[in-house]
A and B are shown apart, each in its own frame.
Chain A
């Protein structure tokens, strides 16, 4: 299962980066989404995938029974998803405003501020 997830994460990272290398700012935004989701999946997978064993302490015990699913990565992923969602909302508005102001969605046309010329 972990191997399968690793391949999936690799594919997501690759597609995200491919999309970001395109010139359209919409594809840039989609690429950013894929990148942040693949990072979330990395956290989720890396601690090991355990199915059907919630980390609950049974009656009469002091520790949950091994093997149990590690709850911390899930809490981390949840936080990261929420942050990613907020950042994505901002990015989409920015993309829209850039398109309205500059009049194009082509990254190559947005080089007036690069600062490598006078």
Chain B
């Protein structure tokens, strides 16, 4: 297959799927089938892209045949390819899951077209090689996520949506202003061209100041300290399939943009910029996990954990050593898998017990031991227990940090791990072991006997959960190939000339 097609497919597939689903607006059943097929195709395209990038090196596709830096190139390096593949995986699992859990009302108001347009925005953000084009993909992604979060129009959803929309639009305005200023300084917006031209500017402080604007803008989207307040206010309000999708993907796009910008473009004064990133990463980890410890509603608790884990993903970027950066990317991949799974499992528990409140969940373990086992795997993976994926992500990150003698951030990361473990055991004891008040009064919780057997709906609900839990275990047991792939990825990121050469060519 030609490279142009491979690079374009992850964007084209969701677009086509969304449009076809829109054509069948009145036929929900058809939309459901189209959505599942489209998501599976995206996963396959992502895997094909990753295999090709690993074999052939960075793939570049100049859209419309205009050579960079004049046209807009789409660039798939290892980082982009890994993240596109993960997007496909999450899309596939959540698409299956939403077949079982999405209510007919939301389905008939265009849930599936929006779902795929969101995926298109995400894949576009990962693949574009142009700053302004990145802004456009961000907007595609945002507008789809705005509607997905507000779709249904419940009071909590609307209250969450207004905060989500306001904060993300501020972030977009800052990004737009920063892009304008960047163009004023460099005269180009092609990322590779920017990376080349900004290495030897006369006034590095000016570029650094613009870099800080990008940090604030991408930081709001990635929900880093102190700009994360929109996330726990909005992520838990929509149906669980939407929560799982946005929680797995949207903030990671912010992290991806930060990694791209601060490895390729803003590397003039790393002593200053990356020191700020390091401090912010530490504070993000601690504040996020402290927020989580105080919560007793599963979805809110998990939302705060997202913030805490964004901190881990920034540590490697701040340290800029291959091993630490590989650890950070491993963390992104691991987090996408386990966090999605935790949300999906809490949705399944809600289906069976009728509540998200830990105190009322009661002794889930007694009634549904298999779900409890699946939860246990994901929770321990999130907390970083061996042999699950989280352990090796953290190990790589910590070893990478120790190698370059960043002891404080290692201490903060390990302290945060302990608190993560604490809050996961809190879910376990409160929601799975301790009988709820109702049970102590010999009343059964409302939904205990609601297990309908393995009908097609339950299969659509549990197959994604089992796939993700298996991956969580698999990435732990077969950690070596994953780590070696991600070290290659990190080395590619730390050698920006590879990216620049692939896009611009050798004539420079």
Query: Measuring CB to CB, which residues of chain A are less than 8 angstroms from any residue of chain B?
Result: 16, 20, 25, 28, 32, 35-36, 38-40, 42-48, 72-73, 76, 79-80, 83, 86-87, 90-91, 94-95, 97-98, 101-102, 107, 110-116, 118
Q: Are B155 and A101 in contact (CB under 8 A)?
A: yes
Query: Measuring CB to CB, which residues of chain B are less than 8 angstroms from any residue of chain A?
Result: 132, 135-136, 139, 142-143, 146-147, 150, 153, 155-156, 158-163, 165-166, 169-170, 172-174, 176-177, 179-181, 183-184, 189, 229, 232-234, 236-237, 291, 295-297, 300, 303-304
Q: Are B236 and A94 in contact (CB under 8 A)?
A: no
Provide the bound-state CA to CA distance between A45 and B180, in Å. 9
Contacts of A97 in B (CB 8 A): 150, 153, 158
Q: Is the interface of A mostly helix, strand, loop or mixed?
A: helix
Known: A90-B146, A94-B165. A38 touches B173 (CB 8 A): yes
Provide the bound-state CA to CA distance between A83 and B162, in Å. 18
Contacts of A79 in B (CB 8 A): 132, 136
Known: A36-B172, A113-B233, A115-B236. A94 touches B180 (CB 8 A): no
Q: Are B296 and A112 in contact (CB under 8 A)?
A: no
**Between A and B, how many residue pairs show CB distances below 8 Å?**
123
B171 CB to closest chain A CB, in angstroms?
A: 10
Known: A90-B146, A102-B159, A113-B160. A36 touches B183 (CB 8 A): no
Contacts of B295 in A (CB 8 A): 115, 118
Q: Are B173 and A39 in contact (CB under 8 A)?
A: yes
- 28 residue pairs A–B, Cβ–Cβ below 8 Å: A25-B162, A28-B162, A32-B169, A36-B172, A39-B177, A42-B177, A46-B183, A46-B184, A47-B180, A76-B179, A76-B189, A79-B132, A79-B136, A80-B135, A87-B139, A87-B169, A87-B172, A90-B143, A90-B146, A90-B147, A94-B165, A95-B162, A97-B158, A98-B159, A98-B162, A113-B159, A114-B229, A115-B233
Q: Name the residue among B135, B136, B156, B184 with the largest chain A CB count within 10 angstroms.
A: B184
A82 CB to closest chain B CB, in angstroms?
A: 10
Q: Are A114 and B158 in contact (CB under 8 A)?
A: no
The 3 closest A-B pairs by CB, nearest first: A43-B180, A46-B184, A39-B176
Q: Are B236 and A113 in contact (CB under 8 A)?
A: yes
Q: Are A102 and B147 in contact (CB under 8 A)?
A: no
Provide the bound-state CA to CA distance between A20 and B172, in Å. 15
B56 CB to closest chain A CB, in angstroms?
A: 32
